[in-house]
Amino acid sequence: MKTNPSKMDMDQINLGPTEWFKKFTIISNEELELLETSSDGEIIIMDWKYTDIIIDDGNYTEYNNDNNDNDDDDDDYYVSNEYRKKLKSQFNLRMIRMAPLFASQPRLKKICKDWDNSFLPTCFKTYVFNRNENDSVSEIHEKANDLKYLINLCGSNLTSLDVTQYPISQIMPIINANCPNLVELSLAFKEIMSQDFENVFSNMSHLTTLSIEWQCKNTTLPMTLAKSLEKIGGTLKSLNLSCTLKGNDIFSPDSLASVFPRLSALKYLTISGFGLSQLLLQSIGEMKNLINLRLYSLWPKNHPMFDTRINMYPIGNLKNLEKLWVDCDYSVRDEFLINLCDNAKKLTFLHIIGTHITDIGMSAINNLEQLEYFILGSTYSIVGPRKNEFITDKSIRCLFNQKLYSLDISNCINITDKSVIKLVKNLPNLRSLFIENTKVTREAVKKIYELTKLRKEPLVVYY
């Protein structure tokens, strides 16, 4: 129900802490209802990605950050003038409605005026901590105080919190104590103390999405953090682990090996920038409910912990997988691919760096009847282009995956015209074919065009 802000009882300025928070919660819920449905019943989709808004003492300025000179795309990326007016109106209304509460919490007013932190636009449900490279020490300190203040004051109202730009573990006990309703949490760590992670998720029974970016040199993931993850094993659905370290600073997060199989609700797992050990791969292979797995590893070949005997085989045991990325230039061999194709019958997307795959492994792909996207080449991989010398026409000409929509066999240097033409005939639904850095000739590409020009949808060949 809409409330006329001019009629609000200004005596609320003197509300006690409990009454103040109750009023804050009421305003938050009412604004959320207004956000989702306007007075005329129209659903308002709030998308802050494409509009930058600057607020200065109630004055409203906005500009779009489009670097594309094509005006024809404007309607696709930027809200209409009418929609922008709604944004302005909603912002002004919220600031007015909050005015009685700002009187006793002036720091909160400053936070709400910062559009980039998403706090006000999301009706006080989301907070993104932001800092700039050019911030002075005092500015960083002030922003850190704002973060702690907001978590202590309004943490129980938050459902999404992003503190990746505050990479200090000391914030974790504060978050756990004050944010019991978090659904999404994004973290980064550059400075840590192991005790800060003791039971650090014990108060987050609603958490479903967790992202951790590791920036700490000379230290691995502490066991206190690993054990704390077990507290949310029954609710956590998505886990993203990334590491920004380079060279010999890279390590494998083996402390998680004993925990992974206990994350029973987990469906989405991404591990990026870490090394991969056999122990870790074995534990991931026991996560039976995974449907989406992404492994991006950059072990340096001269790393003291790098083990050339690592085998990706256990990943093939995951029968519920629907999408799999394995973006690393080791451990992906025929045995792994055969095991995967025998078990993961639900796969619709498969991206592997198959420099060691042979015709024997490729022959197993036909077992994946639901496969729509298959990327074998490494043209767009983070490890860069890698050639395959073992896959030949023998296996390529025998692919019959009827649902295959896009196929990338770039850098398979022994593939020729004969097999690719046969391949196209076998795959009636193929729409994208990547054959860069192969032996396929321009004449074959022309022949493919002739063969497919009468299809309902054209086949695009990247040659």
Task: Give residue-wise pLDDT tens across range 114-124.
Answer: 888 999 888 89
Report CA 452 to chain centroid distance, whole Å.
36
For residues 445 and 4, the model is more confident at: 445
pLDDT-based confidence at residue 37 (cuts at 50, 70, 90): low
Q: Average per-residue pLDDT in the chain?
A: 86
pLDDT (mean) for 23-28: 84
Cα(439)–Cα(414) distance, integer angstroms: 6
In the DSSP assignment, the letter for residue 388 is: B
pLDDT-based confidence at residue 321 (cuts at 50, 70, 90): very high
In the DSSP assignment, the letter for residue 459 is: P
For residues 230 and 87, the model is more confident at: 230
Strand pairing report for 59-63 and 52-56: antiparallel
pLDDT-based confidence at residue 111 (cuts at 50, 70, 90): very high
How far CA 256 is from CA of 35, 236, 312, 313, 337, in Å, comes to 40, 15, 17, 19, 25
Q: Are 324 and 350 contacting, i.e. CB atoms less than 8 angstroms apart?
A: yes
Cα(222)–Cα(269) distance, integer angstroms: 19
pLDDT tops 90 at residue 329: no
pLDDT (mean) for 369-378: 90
pLDDT-based confidence at residue 51 (cuts at 50, 70, 90): very low
pLDDT (mean) for 148-164: 96
Residue 302, pLDDT score: 75
Least confident of 76-85, 197-206, 312-321, 333-342: 76-85
Residues in the chain: 463
Q: What is the CA radius of gyration of the chain?
A: 27
Cα(461)–Cα(431) distance, integer angstroms: 8
Query: For residues 144-165, b (16+ Cβ closer than 10 Å) or e, as one string?
Result: bebbbebbebbbebbbbbbbbe
Residue 38, pLDDT score: 52
pLDDT tops 80 at residue 42: no
pLDDT tops 50 at residue 52: no
pLDDT tops 80 at residue 230: yes
Cα(254)–Cα(218) distance, integer angstroms: 15
pLDDT-based confidence at residue 325 (cuts at 50, 70, 90): very high
* Phi–psi pair at 184, nearest 5 degrees: -125, 135
For residues 42 and 110, the model is more confident at: 110
pLDDT (mean) for 443-454: 95
Report field, pTM of the whole predicted structure over 0.85: yes
- Locate the DSSP E strands across 83-199: 126-128, 160-162, 184-189
For residues 343 and 245, the model is more confident at: 343
pLDDT tops 90 at residue 158: yes
Domains and CATH numbers, the chain: 5-102 (no CATH), 125-310 (3.80.10.10), 350-463 (3.80.10.10)
What percentage of the chain has pLDDT greater than the value 70? 85
Residue 101, pLDDT score: 86
Candidates 290, 287, 286, 214; CA nearest to 252 is 214
pLDDT tops 50 at residue 397: yes
Residue 45, pLDDT score: 37
